Amino acid sequence: MIRLVNHLEKILDVSKVFKRYISKNFEYHEEVVMAMKTKKPIVALESTIITHGMPYPDNLNTAIEVENIVRTRGAVPATIGIINGQIHVGLNKTQIQNLAEESCGPKSAIKCSQRDICSLVAGKLHGGTTVGGTVTIAHLAGISVMATGGIGGVHRGVEQTFDISSDLVVLGKTPVAVICAGVKAILDIPKTLEFLETLSVPVISIGEDDTFPAFYSRRTSDSIKSPSSILTTDEAAECIRAQRSLGINSGLIFAVPLPESVALDSSEIEKFIDMAIRECDDKCIRGKSVTPYLLKRLTDLTEGRSLTANKVLIKNNAAVAADIAVKLSKLSEEKFTNVLTSSREEQLLGFPVVIGGVTEDTTLAVEEPAIQFDGRTHKGKRRQSFGGVGRNIAAALIAIGIEKAQFLSVVGDDNAGVDIIRSLPSAEETIDKLSDKITARYTGVTDKNGECKFGFGEMDIFKSIDADFVKKNYSRIEAARLVVLDGNLPTESISEVINIAVQCQVPIWYEPTDAKKACKIFESHSEWQTVLHFISPNIKELFTIGEYFSIKSCIDESKNSEIDIIKDISEKLGRYVPVIMTTLGSNGLLVVRKSWREDLFYLRGEKNKISLIENDVKVQSRIYSPLSTISVESKRTYSVSGCGDCLAAGVISGIMKGMDEASCVNLGLKAAGICLESLETVPKTLINLR
């Protein structure tokens, strides 16, 4: 048996190939995206029950009812399926209907287990995901609870066929909890339980009866005892939490007996199953076709009673799964240390705190070839959004997966202020709403390439991010592993942040915001050099900082490029600031530091603080090319607004996750590339970088 397990794991482990498709082939339903942003519980649902498990229109009606049940219990449904090679985490009603209708047509979807995902994506095909396929995708999407009817397992007559569902192997190595009515009754339940034990998958019944449910029946004909049993969904959530905290990477199976009112007699259903299996053998039906055939045949033999039971049990399982997900969401607010995960995979460095401005932005996008300053009217479009360097970095951090990132700022007691607070998790606790102020406003004018030519702002409210505001947030700054400051803060506020950072050994990242504010941090406090570890200027801001330190390039401008001059100034500035990340527009990012590209930025130090990594090498500079550029011939509308902020957020996310320099920058450039191709300053699609 163990030899068989090892063989199957080698066959089914396609995770390395699959990860290439995560960012460009995953599509999240808006409801799921919002749930992830607001930390609302999510329940994954399979789509094989739509494509292969029930006849039309029962499959359609049941799928929609199941989703609604999950919603009414306080969770968000995420039906998972593959459409035209695109992996969908959450389907809309039209997509569900299309899959349901195709189940009875000539172009029916393919039954998709973990091993089939890559071929369906590459071939741009449709797929109904099995338990194994759904669990795989759910885990990659960060969803930890799934509901289904019944799991696959060891087929009867396995001695001759070796037919064992890949669901079991996937559950043996994927930390997702599956709520089901046990193993499908057409399978060999005792052998399936034995195989799950071999794979170290916990199997736990929920309810007062300690026997294992048999899908259509509340117990098997010989009343097999469940390996483990609990009474409530709260206990189930505690089991999931305990497994997470211990770093155990297998799934869990929670078996829920179907309601007594629709349960079939176990002896009666066994006779029908034996009959259907004999027919299957006589017709030489094998592989993926076995289960759909047997389910359809049982519907006929039971005169529809098995189909009724199937519909009721999946709805019941969905309700139980939602209850577990809701409870787990509450428990997950607590912090755990994963003792089995390596330091590079853990988010060792805690959460960042961003302090800066947030604005209501208006962008006036000129669509003509050139902007003329002669009083004429230009053709263009007007867009409104939320912005501000600090807000953009914080929102991007949260979207990329640093969900504990905190944003400290102020808004006015107006509609814009209310909407800004609603748009960010936990913002009610960290953003002050001032009754006598209006929310900061910014208006920018961009050319046809999306480059901002000039802007103006009403930002008097930023004066309220004063020293008293900083002192009030002492405990948040003290607990941070990195403080990110933008140049919109008053000088005295920056000074107070440095005061606290020096006391608490918290490193600072400074985002200059614009050339006029680039040197604020150097003028604010005599001990800035103790805690300032990062600055992320653009070219103009870098030159301004260079002038402040009387740094002059020795490079002949007539014989060398601007990039060579930028590198020279940055390397000299490296004597004052440990890490300088200069954005070079279409030329990418210049990183200057006393370390190799393979080095981490930080190590965990005493008292969980972090220490900067510097090697005994001279200051080095490396240019990283952009991953996305604007084509001159392209007629698409682009905006560079927010690209630098998303880049910074990507790099910071990598630092929080313990990545080396090259990986951090790669994550940042991916985020910037996504932003470049969007008109949003912080695109929703950044979630694909998690």
Residue 361 pLDDT: 86
Residue 22 pLDDT: 41
The neighbouring-strand residues paired with 509 are: 484, 534
Tens of pLDDT, residue by residue over 42-96, are 999 999 999 988 888 999 999 999 999 999 999 999 999 999 999 999 999 999 9
Residue 351 pLDDT: 86
Residue 590 pLDDT: 95
Nearest alpha carbon to residue 570 among 605, 594, 604: 594
Tokens of 87: 């992996």
Ordered structural domains, the chain, with CATH? 2-331 (3.40.1790.10), 352-689 (3.40.1190.20)
- Mean pLDDT (whole number) for 347-353: 65
Share of residues in the chain with pLDDT > 70 (%):
88
**C-alpha to C-alpha distance for 130 and 100, rounded to whole angstroms:** 15
Tens of pLDDT, residue by residue over 419-453, are 999 989 888 899 999 999 999 998 888 888 777 78
Q: Is the pLDDT of residue 342 over 90?
A: no
Give every CB contact of residue 585 below 8 A, 6+ residues apart in sequence.
538, 539, 640
The DSSP annotation for 131-166 comes to: HHHHHHHHHHHT--EEE-S-B--BPTTHHHH--B-H
Run of H or E including 69: helix 58-72
Residue 67 pLDDT: 96
The answer to whether the CB of 308 falls within 8 A of the CB of 238 is: no
Average pLDDT, the chain: 85
Distance linking the first and last C-alpha atoms of the chain:
36
**C-alpha to C-alpha distance for 189 and 395, rounded to whole angstroms:** 48
Strands 406-412 and 352-355: parallel
Q: Please indicate whether residue 433 is annotated as part of the active site.
A: no
Q: Which residues of 224-263 are buried (b: 16+ CB within 10 A; e: fewer)?
A: bebbebbeebbebbbbbbebbeeeeebbbbbbbbbeeebb
Q: Is the pLDDT of residue 2 over 70?
A: no
Residue 632 pLDDT: 42
**Which H, E and C letters describe 169-209, residue by residue?**
HHHCCCCCEEEECEECCCCCHHHHHHHHHHCCCCEEEECCC
In this predicted model, which residue has the larger pLDDT, 279 or 90? 90
Residue 680 pLDDT: 85
Strands 127-129 and 76-83: antiparallel
Radius of gyration of the chain (CA): 29
**C-alpha to C-alpha distance for 278 and 91, rounded to whole angstroms:** 37
Tens of pLDDT, residue by residue over 177-236, are 999 999 988 889 999 999 999 999 999 999 988 899 988 888 887 889 999 999 999 999
Q: Is the pLDDT of residue 7 over 90?
A: no
Q: Which residue has the tokens 């078996």?
A: 255
Q: For the whole prediction, is pTM greater than 0.75?
A: no
Residue 585 pLDDT: 85
Q: Please indicate whether residue 46 is annotated as part of the active site.
A: yes
Tokens of 55: 């006849």
Residue 362 pLDDT: 86
Tens of pLDDT, residue by residue over 26-41, are 888 989 888 887 778 9
Lowest mean pLDDT among 100-114, 298-312, 530-544: 100-114
Confidence of residue 11 (pLDDT cuts 50, 70, 90): very low
- Mean pLDDT (whole number) for 555-559: 68
The one catalytic residue among 173, 184, 315, 327? 184
Confidence of residue 469 (pLDDT cuts 50, 70, 90): very high
Tens of pLDDT, residue by residue over 96-119, are 999 998 765 545 789 999 999 999
- Mean pLDDT (whole number) for 5-23: 38
Query: Phi and psi at residue 631, in whole multiples of 5°?
Result: -80, 135
Residue 303 pLDDT: 86
- At 284 the three-state DSSP class reads coil
Length of the chain counted residue by residue: 690
Q: Which residue has the tokens 């599956």?
A: 178
